[in-house]
Amino acid sequence: MTRPLIGITTDMGAAAWHDRVREAAVSPAVYARAIERAGAVPVLLPPVLLPGAAGRLATWLDGLLFSGGADVDVRCYGAAPGDEASWPDQARDVCELTLMRAAIETGTPFLAICRGLQVLNVACGGTLIQPQPDAAGPGRAVPGGLGLPAREVQIIADSRLSQILGASVTVPACPHHAVAELGSGVVATGWAAGHVAAAVEVPGHRFGIGVQWHPEDTTDMRIFAELRAAADASPQRASAAAAAAVAQSARR
List the catalytic residues: 114, 214, 216
Task: Note the helical H segments in 153-221.
Answer: 160-165
Q: How far apart are the first and last CA of the chain?
A: 19
Query: What is the amino acid identity at position 154?
Result: Q
Q: Is 120 helix (H, G, I), strand (E, B) or coil?
A: helix
Amino acid in position 78:
G
How far is the C-alpha of 41 from the C-alpha of 195, rounded, in Å?
36
Distances (CA, A) of 43 to 4, 39, 71, 234: 10, 13, 23, 17
The Cα 122–Cα 180 span in angstroms is: 10
Cβ neighbourhood burial of 221 (10 Å; 0-12, 13-18, 19+): middle
Alpha-carbon distance values, 60 to 85, 107, 148, 229 (Å)? 35, 12, 36, 17
Alpha carbons within 13 A on the beta-carbon side of 16:
2
97-234-218-91 Cα dihedral, nearest 10 degrees: -20
DSSP per-residue letters across 27-46: --HHHHHHHHHTT-EEEEE-
> Is residue 94 packed enough to be buried (19+ CB in 10 Å), middle (13-18) or exposed (0-12)?
middle
